[in-house]
Structure formats: C-alpha cells, structure tokens
Amino acid sequence: MSSKPRSRIAEQVQAYRRRLAASGGQEVLFQLPRETVVLLDAIKERQGLRNRSQALLQLIERGRATAQQ
C-alpha cells in the first residue's frame, strides 16, 4: 500500500503550523457576527495592526486586565 505524495501546499501548511506551535501559538477558526468583525477591522486600522488576530488579542488582554482588578 503506497501513500500519495504530499502536495507542496500541504507541506507548507504543516511547516507553518510547526513554526506557529514552536513560537507558542495555535491556529483557531472563529465564526463571529459581522458587527464584531467590523469592530476588529476598526481597531486594526486605528492601531495600525497587521491583522485581526492582533486586534482580538488586544481586546482579550483588556478584558483580562479588567477581570484581574
């Protein structure tokens, strides 16, 4: 029984996920209301962030700081 050769894209995705895990990250897929995505985009633009993930992390950190007070 021979296995199919892995596609170049599959290898690149696996390599990306290994690098992400090595840096302490994990890829997660979210389904969010359109209004929330608009909010993330607004934060991203105002703060000059590279992506929505950074905007989401800012919101999470703010919530964490508030919860710890």
Q: What is the pTM of this model?
A: 0.69
| 6 confidence band (pLDDT: 50, 70, 90) | confident
Q: How far apart are CA 16 and CA 23, in angstroms?
A: 11
Q: How far apart are CA 10 and CA 3, in angstroms?
A: 14
Burial status of residue 40 (CB atoms within 10 A of its CB: 0-12, 13-18, 19 or more): buried
Residue 4 DSSP symbol: P
Residue 21 DSSP symbol: H
Per-chain mean pLDDT for the chain:
92
Minimum mean pLDDT range among 4-8, 18-22, 23-27, 59-63 = 4-8
